[in-house]
Amino acid sequence: MEILGLGILGGCMIAGLFMGNLLGKLVGLNSDVGGVGFAMLFLVFLSNYLELKGKPLPERVGRGIEFIAALYIPIIVAMAAIQNVVAAIKGGAIPILAGGLATLLSFFLVPLLARLGSKETS
């Protein structure tokens, strides 16, 4: 059954990459824009939809998804390592400003979301 979880995740990944490539073409890029993010959204929407219908994913199926979730951070680090930082810096102030603002926003949002999450569980 774990393989079914990996299959569901793979299907969401294919759909996400399709959407990311489509979005990239719409904005004039020949690249994937947010494909992994779309895949994660599809997976969340699918699991929530199934729970609302009274058919949550079985525990063993969830283990296959958890297996990939454990690999998610190392995959993101590897993807970040291959980004062309030199080209971004040569691109001017906009890429630097966008990266800096996203980082600062994350620094402020993570503690805020952690506090909100702890209030909901108590």
Least confident range from 27-36, 76-85, 107-116: namely: 76-85
Q: Are 88 and 102 in contact (CB under 8 A)?
A: no
Tens-digit pLDDT profile for residues 19-30: 989 998 998 888
CA 12 to chain centre: 11
CA distance 39 to 115: 27
Domain ranges of the chain: 1-82, 84-122
Q: Are 35 and 21 in contact (CB under 8 A)?
A: yes
At 121 the pLDDT is 59
At 4 the pLDDT is 81
4: closest CA among 75, 74, 59? 59
Tens-digit pLDDT profile for residues 95-122: 778 888 988 998 888 888 888 877 665 5
CA distance 56 to 46: 10
At 19 the pLDDT is 93
At 1 the pLDDT is 62
CA distance 46 to 44: 5
- Per-residue CA distances from 45 to 11, 40, 41, 42, 56 (Å): 13, 9, 6, 5, 12
95: closest CA among 81, 82, 85? 85
Say whether pLDDT at 56 is over 80: yes
